[in-house]
Every structure is written in structure tokens, then in C-alpha cells.
Structure 1
Amino acid sequence: MKKLTLLAILAIGIACQPTNQQETTEESAPVYEAPAHHSESLTKVLDAHGGYEQWSSLKSLSYLKGEETTVTNLQNRKIRLESPSQTIGFDGNEVWVSPDSLDVSRARFYHNLFFYFYAMPFVVGDPGAFYEDLEPKELAGKTYNGVKVSYNAGVGDAPDDNYIIWYDPETGKMEWLMYTVTYRSGEPSDRYSLIKYDGWTEFSGVVLPTSLQWFTYENENVGEPRGEATLFQNVALSTEAPDENLFAMPENAAIAPLNSGGN
């Protein structure tokens, strides 16, 4: 009897032991790896704003700027800007303007201009970008670290544009953006414009601004504000893609030319 009891205990003990098959079928959580082309400094900035992995999981961004509502598909960058006077869209192939009686010469330049500024620093994480660490720089009495962003030829409508993100060396948070504009002239430029980013707020796990203020910038000095700050309200991000019909070109629309030329 004692022998049978002992055998029963051993059998139960063996049954309770984890098997090699159970161990091998357990799946560990996937480890996120930053895109190979990202620099260490850019990754620090992105992490301070919620991380590129979180940004990449989002599919829709919308906001109100003045009387203009913008909706963007973050995965394919289709966009729709709607105001009381006109609607501008990008359907993946063409930038269109409706109604077609309105001037369309600047629509190609304008259609994603504020989206690009607003979605910093995440948008400069796109493929085709190169990053260069700059020497620390003082802006308005505070010293910042800098990352210069440039692009491969053929990336976007204006690959010769450059951006410089100035960020707090301790927190990694972006506070200023310098940029050049080459789209309308078609010629590279070394003249930088300057934007101050404020009102950083968390939306769906990423940190985006609610206020952009342009400043004059000459002879390495920050000057006076240029007009009123641009405010972004009703900000919404989602893992659900927007309705594709929003970006379809209506019958009464005109196609915007690729480059309007001039200054």
C-alpha cells in the first residue's frame, strides 16, 4: 500500500513539471528596434515625444487651424484641408483644389506644409532622410543640441530642403525648428527660417505641439515674433484609418501643378 502511494505521488509530480515543449511554445514579447537609418540623437528626441514605434502605429491625424480642418492618413500621407472658401486634397497621385475657379498655383506647396511642421519631429523619421549632429547653439538665452536633417534626391517635392531640430540636451524635447525653403525657386538655400514650438501635449501616446510661433532670425540672432502664433485645436489621433473617400478628387476640382516657379 505504501509502495502504491509513493508511486502515485511521483506520477503527480512528473505531470506537474513543465515540459520542454511548453517552454519552447511560449512567445516572448517582440522587441522594438528603431529604423536603421535613425541616428542616436534623433532617437533621443523621438523617445522624448512618445517614441517612433507609437507614432508608426497611428493611422489618422486631424486638427483645426483657424477655420481650416485638416485630416491626414499617416500611413500613405493622403490629406484633405477644408476651409470655408476651398478644399485642397492629395489622393496619392495628384494635389487637387475645389472649386476650380480658385487659384491653384500654390496648392502643391501648401497642401502638406503645416502638417509637416506640426508633426515634427516624427515626420523627419521617414525613410530617405540623413541626420547630422551639430554643435550646441544658443537661442533666446538657452543652449540646445541640434540635429540637421537632409534628404536623398527625389524624396518629396523639395528634396533640397533642410531642417534643424534644436532640442533640450537633458530632456530631449524639441523646442525650435530651423528650415530652408527651395520648392518655389527650385534652388538650394542656406537661409533659415525659425519656429518656436510650445504647448506640447500628449495625444494617443505621442507628444505634439498646440502652438507654433515664427520668429525673425538674422545674423545668428533670434528677433521678434512674426505675427500671431499658429494654434492647433481639436487634435485627434487614431489607430483607425480615415475614410478614403475624403481624399478622392471631386469632379469640379483642378489639379495643382507640380511647381509653380517664382519666389
Structure 2
Amino acid sequence: MKNLTSLALVFALVACQPSKQTEEKQPEVPAYKAPEHHSASLTNVFDAHGGYEQWSKMKLLSYEKGGESTIVNLQNRKIRLESPQQTIGFDGDDVWVTPDTVDASRARFYHNLFFYFYTMPFVVGDPGAYYEDVEPRELSGKAYNGIKISYGENIGDAPDDNYILWFDPETNKMEWLMYTVTYGSGEPSDSYHLIKYEDWTEFNGLLLPASLQWFQYDGDSVGDPRGEATLFENIEISEEAPSDSLFVMPENAQIAPLNAGE
């Protein structure tokens, strides 16, 4: 009986010992660290739209607008735009256009123009940006808080461009964007254009707009809409990267000049 009791105690002690599998620690996932250059007010806007951490996970964005389809690798900003008239791509070095018979003089300016507008506010979180809170302003009868975004030298093709992001002071959601255009001029500008962002919809945890409406703006008041709203459809954003082959320059392509007229 003694032996049986001793054997039972041994089994009980073995059963109580933690297994090697439970002792092994799972590798720790590094905690997300927000970029240090982001301002507090901009971070609040990001959070209202799903958070910059969630945006940073995304690798693919695609959408259609006005008969043109766009696909982007969000990690390296390679892009491909297809329309019945032409295909424009950026392979990480050059902007290319096919066929080589079309006018490519504005392709460098155009290739990421709507991508940049569409991915507000997240796109202004890129490195090299500087932020300044500006005085609240009334637009179409409503008061908004604002953040001015400027860029350091040699950041992008138009480092002198400025943006002012206007957001609801209660929800922190973006509603308007003011921007200057300096591409090709080489000179800063104080003349702002104005866009209203509407129909925000959640995709993969992020709020993205379905409609951008340009408005007349004389520097003090909002005027009439400028044409029809630009609508975005078949929107997809995901953590799965697009194939890099989409952005490779075809043999029959031409390289777009850096500035129009070159």
C-alpha cells in the first residue's frame, strides 16, 4: 500500500509541473509608436478617422472615379492609373505613361494628385511634414478648427505646397481642405483652393470619403460649387500588398518629364 501511495504522489507532482510548452514565452509584438512629428491636434483627427496605427498597417488601396481606376501600394507609394486613353504608373523612380503617343507633359503632376486628396487626413502624416494649429474659421456658417501643413525642402515634387485641414471641433472629423498649387512654378503661393469632404464611409476600420466637392473661394467666403462632385467607387483598402508587377514600366512606355513643358 505504501508503494502505491508513493507512486500516486509522484504522478500528482508531475501533473502539477508546468509543461515546457506553457513555459515558452510567445514573442512580443512591438507596441505601436506614433511618429514623433505628429501634433496632438492632428493625432485627434487621425483617431476620429480610425487611427494612424490602423492606416500604417494598410498596404493596398484601390478605387475608381470617372472611368479611371487606381491602385496604390501604400507602403512605397507606387501607383497605377488606368483609363481608356492611357495608363500612368510610378515604379518608385519614374512616372511612366503608355502608349508612348499620348501627351505625357502633365503626368508627373497628375499621377498622385487625386490619391493625395482622397487619402486626407492620413497622407499628411508622412515624414517631412510640419504642423501648426491655426485660428478657427467659419465655412458655410459653421466654425471649424484648423491645422496648417507645410513641408521641408526636397519633400515631394512640390515642397512649397501648403494645406489647411479644417475639422469639426466636437468630433475632430475632417470636413474641408484648403490647398495651394505650386507645381511647376517654383514659387510659394497664398492663393488657396477649397474642397468639401463628404460621405465618409468605414473601410477596414478607416473612414474614407466617397465624394469630394470643389468650391469657389475668394479667401474669405465659400462660393458656389465648381462643377460636379468627384465620386469614388469600388473602394478597397487592405493589408495585402498589390503585386509589384503592376508598377513595372512597359517597353512601349515613355517617361513623364518632372515639370510640364520639359
User: Structure 1 length as normaliser, TM-score?
Assistant: 0.90
CA distance in 1, matches of 2:67, 2:26: 53
Any stretches of 5+ residues in structure 2 without a counterpart? none
Alignment of 1:99-118 (within 5 A): 99-118=99-118
CA distance in 2, matches of 1:114, 1:15: 64
Hey, what does 1:128 align to over in structure 2? 128
Hey, what does 1:39 align to over in structure 2? 39
Hey, what does 1:180 align to over in structure 2? 180
Q: CA deviation at 1:29?
A: 6.5
Residue deviations 1:122-168, cap 9 Å, x none? 00000000000011110000000001000110110000000110001
Hey, what does 1:155 align to over in structure 2? 155
Hey, what does 1:166 align to over in structure 2? 166
Amino acid at match of 2:129: A
CA distance in 2, matches of 1:158, 1:122: 18
Hey, what does 1:142 align to over in structure 2? 142
CA distance in 2, matches of 1:65, 1:257: 25
Say whether the 8 Å CA contact 2:64–2:233 is kept in structure 1.
yes
Q: Secondary structure, in 3 states, of the residue corresponding to 1:103? A: coil
CA distance in 1, matches of 2:208, 2:158: 24
Any stretches of 5+ residues in structure 1 without a counterpart? none
Identity rate of aligned residues, in percent? Answer: 70
Q: Secondary structure, in 3 states, of the residue corresponding to 2:166? A: strand
Q: CA deviation at 1:252?
A: 1.2
Residue deviations 1:1-46, cap 9 Å, x none? 9xxx9xx99x96998598xxx8994777654221100000000000
CA RMSD of aligned residues (A): 2.5
CA distance in 2, matches of 1:219, 1:52: 31
Say whether the 8 Å CA contact 2:192–2:219 is kept in structure 1.
no
CA distance in 1, matches of 2:123, 2:219: 28
Hey, what does 1:50 align to over in structure 2? 50
CA distance in 1, matches of 2:55, 2:125: 10
Deviating beyond 2 angstroms after TM superposition, the runs of 4 or more aligned structure 1 residues are: 11-18, 22-33
CA distance in 1, matches of 2:159, 2:225: 28
Say whether the 8 Å CA contact 2:191–2:219 is kept in structure 1.
no
Amino acid at match of 2:67: E
Residue deviations 1:187-215, cap 9 Å, x none? 11010000000000011111100000000
Q: Aligned in 2, Cα 1:219/1:57: closer, same or farther, shift over 3 Å? A: closer
CA distance in 2, matches of 1:258, 1:113: 14
Amino acid at match of 1:134: V
Q: How many pairs were matched up?
A: 260
Hey, what does 1:78 align to over in structure 2? 78
Hey, what does 2:258 align to over in structure 1? 258
